[in-house]
Amino acid sequence: MHLPTGPQTPAFLQILRWVFSPMSYMEACAKTYGDTFSLKLDTNSDPIFFTSNPQAIQQILTSDTKELEAPGELNSLFEFLLGKKSVITISGAEHQRQRQLMMPPFHGERMRSYSQVITDVTAKVINQYQVGETLNIRSITQDITLRVIMQAVFGLDEGPRAEKLQELLGKLLEKGSSRLIVFLLYFPSLQRDFGPIDLWGQQMRLQAETDNLIYAEIQERRENPDPSRTDILSLLMAARDEAGQPMTDEELHDELITLLVAGHETTATALAWALYWIHKLPSVRQKLLAEIDDLAENPDSNTVFKLPYLNAVFSETLRIYPVAMLTFPRQVKMPISIGGYDLEPGTVALGSIYLTHHREDIYPEPKKFKPERFLEQQFSPYEYLPFGGGARRCIGLAFAQLEMKLAIVKILSSLELELVDNGDIAAQRRGLVTSPDRPIKMIVKSNLQVKSRSLETVAL
């Protein structure tokens, strides 16, 4: 085996740096060892192959499954939250089957129904705020994305069960995002319930409460089927695989929690970053407002989706601070040479999305927010990959894109916001993803509702 070099410090110290400052650790490694290096993030197994080389990433994401696989077992870090039957934690044929059952709600026609939900929920959330109020932007984007995903998944964001579920999910993700919980994930022997003051125990109890509510909803739907419902839960309950089999309750539960978690946290953070950059850089805001002002009265969501400058802002937001730092891990099945390194079966390979997006040779001045790069140049799917690629490419890519773009247009055409301070905000770890390292605070300067346009839905 010929693995790239990497830090020689004990695994425990590497894990500590990885948990507490993953991006600066990756940057330091890239500076010392080049675009491909290895890190020891498990006290019992071989070092992990990290790369930000687009050719190597292409190979990792697209190789035949006989050579490289994306086994769900390697995502076991997510199992505590998502379960054993989540599309994220299963592998091979089972993964393919679940993905096929889950894809239809995220395609073309189906997206149409979500446009109105997104615009309505965004309006409902921002209408609560008055001129002069100071807002914590991430709380607002989290409120929007949680309500939107609840509507999309269950067809409701109101009512006692929906409200309880929203409250529990909020708490669950808040606690699950602590770096201490991430630390415990790397040391399973410490994942024990030590009583009421224990962090891990609290997390487990919150999860049990959430699980009960989701199972109760599944049970109720089974007892009172309503064929007119078009929410994702109804579609998943009606779906059949090639053998004509429906999903089990456990599969349904794990996929629902997966969509609620994956579809809400990530998009909330990305939307918060977009609003930060738009208000931090006056020229970006002006160009975006000019594009929005040029829209016809009552623009349809398809038109909004295709706005070039809005698309460039969306793309640059996920370039500079990708919410997911890494692709999911892939594992070598047969001896293979990647980026000049001969890897043996069992080796785990990761594409560093963060480092790839910060390559000076692909993105000159990578630390600067410059949407124009996406107007001037097209990047390959292995140079720009905020949603990963290949067999595990993000299922919610189009959903997240639609949600962010419609919400940005709705917010900018409804409220004039100003950052409370113009200091820089950087990215830090939040659970298994990233987020701003301090709250993004803005003041509502004026309410532009009179000028606001209502976005009509059309098929995408």
Three-state SS at 280: helix
What does the alpha-carbon distance between residue 29 and residue 4 come to, in Å, rounded to a whole number?
A: 11
What does the alpha-carbon distance between residue 146 and residue 263 come to, in Å, rounded to a whole number?
A: 8
Q: Residue from 52, 266, 301, 434 that binds ligand HEM (CB under 6 A)? A: 266
Q: Residue from 146, 387, 455, 460 that binds ligand HEM (CB under 6 A)? A: 387
Q: Which stretch of DSSP H or E encloses residue 338?
A: strand 336-338
Q: Residue from 7, 22, 299, 388 that binds ligand HEM (CB under 6 A)? A: 388
Task: Pick the piece of the chain touching ligand HEM (CB under 6 A) from 287-295, 302-310, 395-403, 451-459.
Answer: 395-403
Please tell me whether residue 327 binds ligand HEM under the rule CB under 6 A. yes
Please tell me whether residue 396 binds ligand HEM under the rule CB under 6 A. yes
What does the alpha-carbon distance between residue 219 and residue 225 come to, in Å, rounded to a whole number?
A: 10
Pure H helices in 346-424: 353-357, 373-376, 397-414
List binders of ligand HEM among 398-417 (CB under 6 A). 399-400
What does the alpha-carbon distance between residue 288 and residue 138 come to, in Å, rounded to a whole number?
A: 21
List binders of ligand HEM among 158-217 (CB under 6 A). none
Nearer to ligand HEM, 266 or 414 (CB): 266
Shortest CB 318 distance to ligand HEM, Å:
6
**Tokens standing for residue 110:** 């189906």
Please tell me whether residue 386 binds ligand HEM under the rule CB under 6 A. yes
Please tell me whether residue 51 binds ligand HEM under the rule CB under 6 A. no
Please tell me whether residue 354 binds ligand HEM under the rule CB under 6 A. no
> What does the per-residue mask of binding to ligand HEM show for 59-98, with x meaning CB under 6 A?
----------------------------xx----------
What does the alpha-carbon distance between residue 19 and residue 325 come to, in Å, rounded to a whole number?
A: 12
Please tell me whether residue 151 binds ligand HEM under the rule CB under 6 A. no
Please tell me whether residue 105 binds ligand HEM under the rule CB under 6 A. no
Please tell me whether residue 332 binds ligand HEM under the rule CB under 6 A. no
Shortest CB 137 distance to ligand HEM, Å:
15
Please tell me whether residue 435 binds ligand HEM under the rule CB under 6 A. no
* Beta carbons of 49 and 347 less than 8 angstroms apart: yes
Nearer to ligand HEM, 234 or 266 (CB): 266
What does the alpha-carbon distance between residue 180 and residue 381 come to, in Å, rounded to a whole number?
A: 34
Three-state SS at 407: helix
Nearer to ligand HEM, 39 or 349 (CB): 349
Three-state SS at 195: coil
**Hey, what amino acid is at 198?**
D
Please tell me whether residue 314 binds ligand HEM under the rule CB under 6 A. no
* Beta carbons of 406 and 315 less than 8 angstroms apart: no
Shortest CB 321 distance to ligand HEM, Å:
10
Q: Residue from 48, 146, 395, 402 that binds ligand HEM (CB under 6 A)? A: 395
Please tell me whether residue 256 binds ligand HEM under the rule CB under 6 A. no
Q: Residue from 118, 236, 247, 323 that binds ligand HEM (CB under 6 A)? A: 323
Nearest Cα neighbor of 59 from 271, 293, 340 is 340
Please tell me whether residue 261 binds ligand HEM under the rule CB under 6 A. no
Q: Residue from 85, 392, 410, 429 that binds ligand HEM (CB under 6 A)? A: 392
What does the alpha-carbon distance between residue 83 and residue 250 come to, in Å, rounded to a whole number?
A: 9
Give the CA distances from residue 238 to residues 204, 233, 244, 286, 370, in Å, rounded to whole numbers and listed in that order. 31, 9, 11, 47, 45
What does the alpha-carbon distance between residue 290 and residue 297 come to, in Å, rounded to a whole number?
A: 14
- In the complex, which residues of this chain contact ligand HEM (CB under 6 A)? 87-88, 99, 258-259, 262-263, 266-267, 270, 318, 323-324, 327-328, 386-390, 392-396, 399-400
